[in-house]
Structure 1
């Protein structure tokens, strides 16, 4: 099953999916923590936010999109009450997440048993739900991590280990933001040591540097590849990387998306936002240059359905 803000669905129901977007990033970490830890929401703000975000979602739906993966982790202000109402209002699926939920400096204070405690928190998010709203237990559909640039820090390494532990226990896939190809080598060392299941691990933003040798290494390991920054004017470079991934017979394990913040884009211009560029520009460019639009649609349907599918028979305690 795939876990959405309206409850679990069968993978066949997911449809064309934007696999890495932000409904609304919240920079106020105090408010973000109130939502995640205390289940406290500002209902008036939600009503105002919906007025901006609903038109974006409806435009995506009109282009053929059926589902969106929320890539904002708890510390980024993921608002599950907003997501649930939005999903109901537009009749689209939204896959929420657990994951990075605290300032990383806390590792320096609580380094002992950090991985176990963090893993237990994420496991509990899945078992008990991020929240229960209107009788619906909202379980996360993935674990979202954001690794900093440079050398892999102790805090980020600990979060990776925690994510592997939680993934093994629950079946949740790990959606991991890695902006530099050189860090992938360090990440692989950690994953190998933890005997991680690469079928459950996504390198988000593999297209940031589009380093083909590292993409090939990740593919050889079985890691999922995120080409998820398909923005206005980027079609040629994204097409080049996608073509390479397909040339090594790995098109079945790539996730495509745009990485927009819907709220921010709507505030900027609700009538001329870029949040459907993958449908309006990228697909057309692919068709004109040798990759059929139906192949892109297949990738955006079957691939996320496979990555976000969780075996609920053994993983969920009802």
Structure 2
């Protein structure tokens, strides 16, 4: 019924415009950013969530982008990308951080040539005893570091229009140092301002649990946290997964198929299948080595692990959960607060 206090003409005008008006409580479409721009997470398809194109281990104080040539890297790497495309992979999260060889223009060229979605990152990497941290990471506050990372999200990376699709940081495997606590705090601040997922090179359960406690104190839901290189017993993984974090089994190789398959099946039995991410941590063109050094391809999951999981009884719907739905849910850009 139309109120007598509300003119009929205005009511009809609003009805006509209704399809074009946003509803205040309606959630925006789920999206992230690839190196080619905004993309719906439903369009990511089968994804490898932790791979590398180029990694330069020379150190933050020595690294420069003129240590490698784009055309030489593309000639070496592109065939490996076409291999996974032929196996149905559509998206690669490229996890090389700043000061270890992140090169967003190189990734953009590889995305154009391969047809794959490629997603890059912001953040700093403190693992390996801080060798890859820029000098200001030691002196600036968490707020100042977060401002730098938020700036890359808002304005683009290194003068380009390319935006990060996640945060990449890293800590040492033992109890968190004060410096590494600062990195995780900066990541939490960045998440709260951008909605970017936090991927932290971690390893054992102890530092992962300490990182999660920092996030919780800052009111960041652990669902925004990816426990990178998760290791330990399957039971330890299950205990940590109770927080809601993502458990990333991202060092999959031919000699770890059975171990990873059993871990996945165990976590599924405990109700955590929808929190598992899988990848190879492969690639690694290395500047300074002949022809970029030994390059490990990205096909083991498609060729070895998935068939093994199917043989052990994992359903096709479970494979879709692992390869498509979990990456889309993990890397959606959305602030997740407690």
**For residue 179 of structure 1, what is the aligned residue in structure 2?**
203
- Structure 1 residues 263 and 219, CA gap change in structure 2 (3 angstroms): same
**For residue 145 of structure 2, what is the aligned residue in structure 1?**
118
More helix, by proportion: 1
**For residue 24 of structure 2, what is the aligned residue in structure 1?**
none
* Counterparts of 1:105 and 1:43, CA distance in 2: 18
- Structure 1 residues 33 and 128, CA gap change in structure 2 (3 angstroms): farther
**For residue 248 of structure 2, what is the aligned residue in structure 1?**
226
Specify the SS of the correspondent of 1:234.
helix
Residue from 56, 65, 68 that aligns with 2:89: 65
Asked whether 1:27 is paired with 2:57, we answer yes
Asked whether 1:305 is paired with 2:328, we answer yes
Specify the SS of the correspondent of 1:263.
coil
Asked whether 1:284 is paired with 2:307, we answer yes
Q: What is the aligned-residue RMSD (CA, Å)?
A: 2.5
Cα deviation, residue 151, structure 1: 2.0
**For residue 45 of structure 2, what is the aligned residue in structure 1?**
15
- The structure whose Rg is larger is 2
Asked whether 1:192 is paired with 2:213, we answer no
For the 8 Å contact 1:224–1:255, the answer to whether it is kept is: yes
**For residue 146 of structure 1, what is the aligned residue in structure 2?**
170
Cα deviation, residue 187, structure 1: 1.9
Residue from 309, 318, 338 that aligns with 1:295: 318
For the 8 Å contact 2:33–2:39, the answer to whether it is kept is: yes
- Structure 1 residues 147 and 64, CA gap change in structure 2 (3 angstroms): same
Detail structure 1 runs of 4+ shifted over 3 Å in the superposition: 28-34, 41-44, 101-109, 264-270
Asked whether 1:128 is paired with 2:152, we answer no
Query: More displaced, 63-72 or 303-312?
Result: 303-312
Report the TM-score when normalising by structure 1: 0.86
**For residue 37 of structure 1, what is the aligned residue in structure 2?**
none
For the 8 Å contact 1:20–1:257, the answer to whether it is kept is: yes
* Counterparts of 2:68 and 2:234, CA distance in 1: 47
Q: Deviation per CA, 1:120-141, whole angstroms, max 9, x where unpaired?
A: 11111100011455xxx21000
Runs of 5+ unmatched residues, structure 1: 35-40, 313-318
For the 8 Å contact 2:34–2:163, the answer to whether it is kept is: yes
* Counterparts of 1:148 and 1:186, CA distance in 2: 12
Specify the SS of the correspondent of 2:227.
strand
- Structure 1 residues 202 and 108, CA gap change in structure 2 (3 angstroms): closer
**For residue 285 of structure 2, what is the aligned residue in structure 1?**
263
For the 8 Å contact 2:227–2:246, the answer to whether it is kept is: yes
Cα deviation, residue 253, structure 1: 1.6
- Structure 1 residues 104 and 24, CA gap change in structure 2 (3 angstroms): closer
For the 8 Å contact 1:262–1:275, the answer to whether it is kept is: no
Asked whether 1:251 is paired with 2:273, we answer yes
